[in-house]
A and B are shown apart, each in its own frame.
Chain A
């Protein structure tokens, strides 16, 4: 089946550091990638939607200058948390979907980010 690889799986770093998370579709072309965030005991919340070659569309309340998303190719999207602070500590999960509105979303394994 389709596989999405997300890296790294775990990040621990100091406040003020910028952290980049990669999301790759391994066996299909992901025209659309989604980034979600999940705080403890909360639902997965959509942060942004990115289409290959276009600027990402951010959900209300998500700062685009803080969460930089790049989707430069059909197999790779990156999320950079700039100048991360403890309140950014969360579980970040990407998902990817091939062309076609009825295509399923395939999820990465997630990245657990801890900012000290």
Chain B
């Protein structure tokens, strides 16, 4: 079983749509959780950290459920510029980040 699993998509949505991505992780010792964004095989860039209490950054909302080892990302009012691959990332303190395969989002006008 892979450490971090995501639905690869692609998710094709119109501008203004709300889209949700899910992710599960297998290592219960994981301590930190993130969503990264990757464009056109460029380096991944941190989108937001994920906390058990849930956190929001503008149109983006992230949730973590430690009991079910589940992470989600909600994007509201999708923009064309949101088109990218979204990577679910976990790690334990002091270790390297472990990446999911990514979920591809394509927003069209």
Residues of A with Cβ closer than 8 Å to B? 34, 36, 38, 40-46, 49, 91, 93, 95, 101-102, 104-105, 107-110, 112
B interface SS class = loop
* Contact yes or no, A95 B97, CB < 8 A: yes
Complex Cα spacing A47 to B50, Å: 25
Partner of B99, one of A43, A49, A101, A102: A43
* Contact yes or no, B44 A44, CB < 8 A: yes
Partner of A107, one of B43, B93, B98, B102: B43
* Contact yes or no, B102 A43, CB < 8 A: yes
A49: B residues at CB distance < 8 A: 95-96
Given A34-B96, A42-B101, A107–B41 Cβ distance below 8 Å?
no
Given A43-B101, A104-B46, A38–B94 Cβ distance below 8 Å?
no
Complex Cα spacing A102 to B94, Å: 7
